[in-house]
Each structure stands twice: as structure tokens, then as C-alpha cells.
Amino acid sequence: MKSVERFFHDLTVDCVRDVSFASLGEFVASKDAYLAQRDSEAKCCVWKAKGRDILTGRRG
């Protein structure tokens, strides 16, 4: 799963699915709280592949 797809999957499962919101504002507040919590636990991604290898499809 790509990073963007994974992000929206997590947002859906953790914040939206199986939840009923009384208003759009309630949804926005829930989403904002989820994103703030997720941002507070952010982890760096360290790329190990070389750009040239990615562009040419080589592994290694």
C-alpha cells in the first residue's frame, strides 16, 4: 500500500468508520484532533535507496 493510501486508510479506520457525526463541525473537530495526535507522534522516514536506482527500477 502506498503512503497516501495508507494515510487515508488509517484516517478512515481510526477516525471515521463506525462513528456517527451530528454535524460537519463535529467531523472536522474529530479529524483535526486525530491529525494533531498523529502529528505529535511523527516518525522520520529515512530513504535508503538511491534516486537513480528508483528511477531505473533497480533494487539494491
pTM of the full predicted structure? 0.63
* Confidence label for 1 from pLDDT (cuts 50, 70 and 90): low
Instruction: Tell me the pLDDT tens digit for each residue of 13-52.
Output: 999 999 999 999 999 999 999 999 999 998 888 878 888 8
Q: At residue 12, what is the residue type?
A: T
